[in-house]
Chains A and B, each alone.
Chain A
Amino acid sequence: MESLTFRHTTRKPLPGSVPNAITGVVASGNLEILLERVLAPDACEVAIETPIAGYGDVWEAVVADFVARAQPGGLRISINDGGARPDTVSLRLLQGARLMEA
């Protein structure tokens, strides 16, 4: 197992008022994401538990692109990874943000 945490400052809070959401499943090649609206409106934290070590720079790039695109201010995001590919991670993060905006 490898644990990674990335903290970002956003330009704005994520719209909507859903307090928390969960998407995806922990299965091989997939991942589960818990999103909670518990941080300051310009803060975002992404904490990752992954069984595959050595992909820190890829996770960092995926998370940075997601933050730039979704501006998820206020969210603490916890990822329980099952060895998902980066594109699946991106997609689940965007799906999670959409659920929180509803």
Chain B
Amino acid sequence: MTEWRGERRARDARIAAGRAHATGKVVPAVAVVDLLEAILRPGDRVCLEGDNQKQADCLARGLSACDPGKIHDLHMVQSGIVLPEHLDVFETGIAKRLDYSYSGPQGARIAKMLYGGQIELGAVHTYLELFARYFVDLTPNVALIAGVSADREGNLYTGPNTEDTPTVVEATAFKNGVVVAQVNEIVDRVPRVDIPGDRVDFVVEADRPFYVEPLFTRDPAAMTETQILIAMMAIKGIYAEYGIRRLNHGIGFGTAAIELLLPTYGEKLGLKGKIATHWALNPHPTLIPAIESGWVKQVHCFGSEVGMDRYIRERPDIFFTGADGSLRSNRAFCQTAGLYACDMFIGATLQIDLSGHSSTITQSRVAGFGGAPNMGSDPHGRRHPSDAWMKAGREGQIVGDPALMRGRKLVVQLVETFGDKLVPTFVEQLDALELARKIGLELAPVMIYADDVTHIVTEEGIANLLLCRDVDEREQAIRGVAGYTAVGRGRDRAKVEELRARGIIRRPEDLGIEPLDADRALLAAKSIKDLVHWSGGLYEPPAKFRNW
């Protein structure tokens, strides 16, 4: 007799074991370890919800306190390695194998543990890629997730940081897995149902509200003239040139400067309504002045941002909100939007090589990718035209029938030639290659491959890689904007001038930009406090950004 219901029976047994520590579905915080030891089995695939922003921290502490004699060799499949507990479980043997996307704050420790062989690494994914694998070959046996509140039936309100939760629950609950949610409070009725109760098996009332990382707040007070100059060049040389309406911005200061220049510099150029109207973007506080000035039509969010909740509630024409009025974010859908419905991705990186490959991995830090490789790639499945996409396609087409030309997504790297501590951004070879060699990775962790990058913008100028016709031109176009780095000083000056004459390299003066005009006076907001004023007092910045 073929067994068709083995997984289902195993799940029922796990749930029955867990019920011993619950009243109905509700489990007190003190019983978390008992619950987890009852429902987990050695070798399980576990998604411990660590997202880009919110963290199931109570469940993370619980998992790391489990007895490694009972619970061991887990295979962790989660997008974010953010909390210390996410790595502690690998030191104690509770977990063995890891498939993930992003490890920002734990980047240095994860590098050490990879070198030391404490973690058996599957792969470093892009978000959408890891989510896809949840439904194919990395389906979790147990998901440990986080929400704001739940009722006794398990109906879950995630609050504005919905993020990965619907995706994780979908993959787990509908494939014989067990779902445990930690919530800040148990209520009689949730403000809205983000996850229906029949997909949630246990609800833990956490000892304290779940942790959210304010990742997308950039203080305008820290913006430099160089970043403003780069932002001016990007707006005039790329946004205006291609008519970019639908876009995604990265997390850095350069793109935050662009957001703050739209209502000032962009307005002066007459670009309002012509660029930057529709966004796949977290609710960046630095976007507030552009929203308030009527630049922005619509924003769909991956997650939320600490302090933006009240502002978002009062701007439902701009943001996606639920019947309760608060933001509904969704990382999987927003990543899909960034991939297929945006004409441009623009963001920063730590290293760019002579071909244009880029990586945020250095020898001492494995930061992971997050969404950049997904949004920063040209989707070959796209079939709808737009002016920006078609123009980029024409620029990049070298051979073939023009009637069969496909468009191109613009993938723009916005970098300063030197990073912190005078570390050059432009390098002969990415550190990622050395890392891959040292820890034996089959695939070098490249964030954005050269063939996806269309433009590089630095304080020295814009290199349009679409227009380069061979590898030598490409290398000189990159050297030609690499400033005073060794790569930049190693340029063939005559060749670079020729590329400039052909418009492949454009200097500030070629764009009609005077570098001395790059002044902080151009920023629509010069401080966090200015952003609060722009928002009419609705933006409530976290304490570490309040310096008044």
Residues of A within 8 A of B (CB): 52, 55, 57-58, 61-62, 83, 85-88, 91, 94-95, 98
Contacts and interface: CB of A to CB of B under 8 A. Distances in A.
A85 B416 contact: yes
B417 interface: yes
Contacts of A98: 516
- Chain A contact residues, majority secondary structure: helix
B225 A86 contact: no
B226 interface: yes
Interface residues of B, number: 16
A53 to B, nearest CB: 12
Contacts of A87: 226, 416-418, 459-460, 483-484
A85 B515 contact: no
Interface string B171-199: 00000000000000000000000000000
Contacts of A57: 489
Contacts of B516: 91, 94-95, 98
Given A83-B422, A94-B516, A98-B516, A61 B484 contact: yes
Contacts of A83: 422
B484 A62 contact: yes
A88 B417 contact: no
Interface of B: 224-226, 229, 416-418, 422, 459-460, 483-484, 489, 515-516, 518
Given A52-B422, A61-B489, A86 B484 contact: yes
Nearest to A83: B422
B515 A94 contact: yes
Nearest to B421: A83
Contacts of B489: 57-58, 61
Contacts of A52: 422
Given A85-B416, A87-B460, A88-B226, 13 more contacts: A57-B489, A58-B484, A61-B484, A62-B484, A85-B417, A85-B418, A86-B483, A87-B226, A87-B416, A88-B224, A91-B515, A91-B516, A98-B516
Contacts of B515: 91, 94
Contacts of A61: 484, 489
B54 to A, nearest CB: 33
Interface core residue of B225, B229, B417, B484 (most chain A CB under 10 Å): B484
Contact of B422 (A55, A91, A94, A95): A55
Contact of B225 (A55, A58, A62, A91): A91
A12 to B, nearest CB: 20
Going nearest first, the 9 A-B pairs with the smallest beta carbon separation are A86-B484, A85-B418, A87-B459, A58-B484, A87-B226, A61-B484, A98-B516, A91-B225, A94-B516
A3 to B, nearest CB: 18
A88 B422 CA distance: 11
Contacts of A86: 417-418, 483-484
A77 B14 CA distance: 76
Nearest to A54: B422
Contacts of A62: 484
Interface core residue of A52, A57, A85, A91 (most chain B CB under 10 Å): A85
Contacts of B459: 87
Contacts of A94: 515-516
Nearest to B422: A85
Interface core residue of B225, B422, B460 (most chain A CB under 10 Å): B422
